[in-house]
Amino acid sequence: MPGIFRTTNPLSIVVLFFYGMVLRFAALLDPVVPVANPSDGVLYHSVIRGLKAIGGSSGFIYAIFAYLLVYAQALMINSVFFRHRLLTKPNFLPALAYVMVTALFPEWWTLSSTLIVNTFIIVAWNHLTALYKSPKAKQLVFNAGIIIGLGSFFYFPSLAFVLMAIAAILIMRPFSLPELLLCILGATVPYYFLFAWLYLSGSLDIHKYIPNIAISYPQFQQSIWAWIALLLLMVPFLFSGIYIQNQILRMLIQVRKNWSLILVYLLIALLVPFINGSKDFEYWILCAVPFAAFHANVYFAPQKKWLPAILHWGTAAFILALNYYVLTQ
């Protein structure tokens, strides 16, 4: 299967769409109606209410919307890889990797606030990867800050990804205080306009839009399925790290810096769920994008194709078994 996606054949996009549906067939056959948590943002609550008005108590519309969002995000990630040459040849392996990574945990099949936030973070990441020697660096960091700020209206702790933007400025370019301040300013712009409108309308309630911040340990559903999924998430990541380390001296400088940024992206995504921690594992889907990036590299880099084949088909077999298990519970 990875061989089909090693080219830029447009047919791969069609195959990926149906392959992704197969990998989460349990979510489509037995859909779950998502419930907004207090840590979710006001826009996510609005989305859930809007979809409920359309689909009623049926969870099918949420499952379809969630999958279409995953599929769109997969193509967006692929576009970032293609535009910034993170792999030496254009292909659809990053899209394949993201579809598979997001199918590893049942909690990641639902329409969560963090799944929606991933769309905003991918767009911001695309801006930040273009910073190296860009004549429009100030515009890029300002736009990235605005996008991250807008995403926090769906899940407020995601505002922490401003740290990723700051790290990108430090990694990609010589230190520039104006660019740093523009990034932070961009993240506050959506709130400035929101609070200005609320103040003028006489309905200003800051706590409704900026919840209290607390650091806590998010609970993890410990089961054999979850531990195997974590193993399948980490093994390709470790292999990919080895391949990147072996090839790093042959990479272009901007590509090397972009892989460093992806690692920073992963570290921040791993820390964000500790802010206003919840018992739900769905918030960890913020890690799916950087993990998918490393998985795509391990599907592409090895000269001997047996390793990508084993990793892919082993992961696919587990995901299908997990779907069957979820349906029979």
Q: Is the dihedral of CA 188, 190, 196, 201 positive or negative?
A: negative
Query: Contact at 8 Å (CB) between 33 and 109?
Result: no
d(C-alpha 118, C-alpha 195), whole Å: 25
Cβ of 29: how many Cβ atoms within 10 Å? 12
- Nearest-5° Cα angle at 195, 189 to 200: 130
> Packing angle between helix 288-300 and helix 60-84, nearest 10 degrees?
60
pTM above 0.85, yes or no: yes
> Packing angle between helix 113-129 and helix 137-151, nearest 10 degrees?
180
Q: How far is CA 311 from CA 239, 247, 318, in A?
A: 10, 21, 11
Query: Contact at 8 Å (CB) between 14 and 94?
Result: no
Q: Is the dihedral of CA 37, 41, 42, 48 positive or negative?
A: negative
Query: Contact at 8 Å (CB) between 233 and 248?
Result: no
Tell me, what's the pLDDT at 99? 96
Tell me, what's the pLDDT at 1? 62
Q: Which 8-state DSSP code applies to residue 32? A: -
Spatial CB neighbours of 303, under 8 Å, sequence gap ≥ 6: none
- Nearest-5° Cα angle at 43, 221 to 113: 20
Where b means 16+ CB within 10 Å and e means fewer, 76-94 reads bbbebbbebebbeeebbbb
From the list 1, 20, 12, the residue with the least C-alpha distance to 319 is: 20
Give mean pLDDT in consecutive 10-residue pieces for the chain, a chain of 329 residues. Answer: 76 91 91 80 86 76 92 95 87 93 92 93 94 86 94 90 93 87 91 80 69 66 85 92 83 86 94 74 90 92 82 93 89
Q: How far is CA 143 from CA 8, 11, 123, 179, 182, in A?
A: 30, 33, 10, 11, 9
d(C-alpha 216, C-alpha 1), whole Å: 41
Strand partners, 215: 275
Tell me, what's the pLDDT at 248? 77
Tell me, what's the pLDDT at 329? 78
Tell me, what's the pLDDT at 234? 93
